[in-house]
Amino acid sequence: MNKDLTYEIVKHVFANLAIIPSNFININKTKSLISKEFLLPDGVPFSDETGKVSSNQVWGCQFIVENQEVKLLVADCKQDQDLPEYALLVWMKDMPIYGVYLTYHDEMKSESLVACGMDGKQWMECPTYLQGTFLSGMEQLKNDLVSYQKCTNYKDQLNMLISFIGFHMDLHGDGYEGKED
């Protein structure tokens, strides 16, 4: 697996959603997925070294593409104020579920991951071929996307996102004690 390519794919997807800054996205014409408009009342639980649990923000949108419901959920996974971290869940009814993770810093290559699963509970890291397929699908969504609205009925997807964050943390040895509803 090419880690540099994975990072560029993940960075491109997050830039297209206006989650991170980009030279090719006009932020004045693009609605950011992490805007107040899409902020959900639920959060993602994280615990610090002392065991204190806090809830990080989650944003979500939904839309219909070719008669298929699509939901995107983004969690702020930041645990260091100077280093943004985000997890993205891309859910389309009756299709594989994708989880994407980015630890982002302008001046250095950072951690990234693209994983997929069928049930939102079991995840596998995507090989380069599946990452390319995912990128192609996200580009198609961007091109077909007419308008999106704040998520409703997203509890299952939120639990999938929490599961994906746990997969990411386990993969990188950080451990995650977030609880699914």
Report domain extents, the chain.
Answer: 3-171
* Alpha-helix residue ranges (DSSP H) falling in the chain: 3-16, 128-144, 155-171
Has residue 144 got a pLDDT over 70? no
Among 54, 67, 70, 83, smallest CA distance to 17 is for 70
Of the pLDDT bands very low, low, confident and very high (cuts 50, 70, 90), residue 179 is very low
Contact (CB, 8 A) for 60 and 157: yes
- Per the model's pLDDT, the better-predicted residue between 180 and 28 turns out to be 28
* Alpha-helix residue ranges (DSSP H) falling in 27-175: 128-144, 155-171
Which pLDDT score, from 0 to 100, does residue 181 have?
44
Strands of 33-160, DSSP E: 39-47, 53-65, 68-76, 85-92, 97-103, 112-117, 124-125, 149-150
- Per the model's pLDDT, the better-predicted residue between 23 and 114 turns out to be 114
Has residue 75 got a pLDDT over 90? yes
Of the pLDDT bands very low, low, confident and very high (cuts 50, 70, 90), residue 43 is very high
Has residue 180 got a pLDDT over 50? no
Pick from 30-34, 50-54, 76-80, 141-145: least confident: 141-145
- Tokens for 18, please give them: 């206006």
* Count of CB atoms situated within 10 Å of the CB of 80: 8
